[in-house]
């Protein structure tokens, strides 16, 4: 859980995404304070959010990529299971 301050909500979301290394869809956040411009720049307030990374996404990132898993299992699917065969006349699909 991190507190993020920025001039706008968009900047706060962007900072949070960069800090966690994820997209905005993978963030859980709560808006603590909306930004205010103030009068002639006086009494301006920054946007404040508290952000965390979604726990389900963290677990996904720890899994092996699918290609590594397939190569470690050495899976081979024969052509007969794919519904095609190669003959002297060319490729037949059935």
d(CA 23, CA 13): 9
Given this model, what pLDDT does residue 54 score? 84
Residue from 35, 34, 26, 30 nearest 1 by CA: 30
Q: Which residues of the chain have pLDDT under 50?
A: 59, 62-63, 77, 79-84, 94
d(CA 15, CA 22): 11
Given this model, what pLDDT does residue 40 score? 86
Torsion of CA 10, 13, 14, 17, to 10 degrees: -160
In tens, the pLDDT along 65-88 reads 555 655 666 665 454 444 445 555
The two tokens of residue 14 are 């962007």
Given this model, what pLDDT does residue 90 score? 54
d(CA 36, CA 38): 6
Given this model, what pLDDT does residue 73 score? 67
d(CA 71, CA 53): 30
């Amino acid at each position: 859980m991190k507190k993020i301050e920025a001039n706008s909500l968009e900047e706060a979301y962007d900072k949070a995404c960069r800090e966690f290394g994820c997209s905005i869809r993978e963030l859980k956040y709560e808006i603590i304070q909306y930004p205010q411009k103030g009068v002639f720049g006086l009494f301006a307030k920054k946007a404040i959010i508290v952000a965390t990374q979604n726990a389900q996404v963290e677990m996904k990132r720890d899994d092996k990529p699918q290609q590594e898993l397939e190569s470690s299992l050495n899976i081979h699917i024969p052509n007969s299971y794919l519904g095609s065969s190669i003959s002297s006349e060319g490729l037949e699909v059935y």
